[in-house]
Amino acid sequence: MSITAYKARFIAVSPQNILENRYINIKAGAVIEISTRILPQTARIINLGDGIIIPALINTHTHLELSAFKNKIPYNYGFKKWVKTLLEKRENTDKKNLINAAKTTATRLLNTGCAACAEVSTLKITKQIFTKSPLAGVWFEEKLKNNLSDFKIDKTEAQKNKYYSYAGHAPHTTSPLLLAQLKKQTEKASLPFSIHTAESAEEIEFITTAKGKWADFLTERKIDYKNWGIPAKSPVQYLYNLNILNPRTILVHLTFATEEDLCIIKNSGANICLCPRSNQNLHGRLPNIEKITQLGINASLGTDSLASVDTLDILDETAFIAKKYSAISAENLLAMATINGAKALGIEKYYGTIEKGKKASFLYLPVKEADKKAALKAAVTKQFNGERVFINY
Q: How far apart are CA 375 and CA 18, in angstroms?
A: 10
321 membership: H or E segment, kind and range: helix 314-324
DSSP assignment, residue 139? E
Q: Binning pLDDT at 50, 70 and 90, where does residue 172 land?
A: very high
In a shared domain, residues 337 and 375 = no
In a shared domain, residues 215 and 232 = yes
Name residue 33's beta-bridge partners: 25
In a shared domain, residues 187 and 143 = yes
Q: How far apart are CA 236 and CA 250, in angstroms?
A: 12
Q: How far apart are CA 209 and CA 172, in angstroms?
A: 11
Length of the chain measured in residues = 393
Number of H helices, E strands in the chain: 14, 14
In a shared domain, residues 34 and 96 = no
Residue 240 scores a pLDDT above 70: yes
In a shared domain, residues 21 and 108 = no
**Residue (of 291, 311, 315) closest to 301 by Cα position:** 315
Among 328, 345, 362, the domain-final residue is 345
Mean pLDDT within 44-51: 96
Q: Binning pLDDT at 50, 70 and 90, where does residue 159 land?
A: confident
DSSP assignment, residue 151? -
In a shared domain, residues 191 and 253 = yes
In a shared domain, residues 144 and 123 = yes
Residue 280 scores a pLDDT above 80: yes
At 149 the pLDDT is: 63
What lies within 8 Å, CB to CB, of 3 at 6+ separation is 25, 26, 27, 32, 39, 41, 42, 43
- Count CB-CB contacts under 10 A for residue 349: 12
In a shared domain, residues 135 and 122 = yes
Residue 152 scores a pLDDT above 70: no
Q: What is the pLDDT of residues 77-90, one digit of tens each?
A: 999 999 999 999 99
**Three-state secondary structure call for residue 10:** strand
Find out whether 192 and 186 touch, Cβ atoms under 8 Å.
yes
Q: Which domain holds residue 144?
A: 57-345
DSSP assignment, residue 158? P
In a shared domain, residues 308 and 377 = no
The model's pTM is: 0.96
- Count CB-CB contacts under 10 A for residue 284: 11
Mean pLDDT within 201-223: 95
Q: Binning pLDDT at 50, 70 and 90, where does residue 242 land?
A: very high
Mean pLDDT within 156-181: 90
In a shared domain, residues 23 and 98 = no
Find out whether 52 and 387 touch, Cβ atoms under 8 Å.
no
**Three-state secondary structure call for residue 160:** coil
Average pLDDT taken over every residue of the chain: 95
| CATH number of the domain enclosing 40 | 2.30.40.10
In a shared domain, residues 259 and 197 = yes
Q: What is the pLDDT of residues 318-365, one digit of tens each?
A: 999 999 999 999 999 999 999 999 999 999 999 999 999 999 999 999
DSSP assignment, residue 66? G
Q: How far apart are CA 18 and CA 22, in angstroms?
A: 10
Residue 150 scores a pLDDT above 70: no
Q: What is the pLDDT of residues 15-33, one digit of tens each?
A: 999 999 999 999 999 999 9
Q: What is the pLDDT of residues 363-375, one digit of tens each?
A: 999 999 999 999 9
Q: How far apart are CA 245 and CA 265, in angstroms?
A: 7
Residue 148 scores a pLDDT above 80: no
Find out whether 344 and 298 touch, Cβ atoms under 8 Å.
yes
**Residue (of 30, 29, 26, 20) closest to 45 by Cα position:** 26
Contacts 24+ apart (CB under 8 A), 37-46: 38/5, 39/3, 39/5, 41/2, 41/3, 42/2, 42/3, 42/4, 42/5, 43/2, 43/3, 43/4, 44/2, 44/4, 44/5, 45/4, 45/5, 45/7, 46/4, 46/5, 46/6, 46/7
DSSP assignment, residue 153? -
In a shared domain, residues 158 and 182 = yes
| CATH number of the domain enclosing 140 | 3.20.20.140
Find out whether 51 and 184 touch, Cβ atoms under 8 Å.
no
Q: How many domains does the chain have?
A: 2
Q: Binning pLDDT at 50, 70 and 90, where does residue 251 land?
A: very high
At 146 the pLDDT is: 78
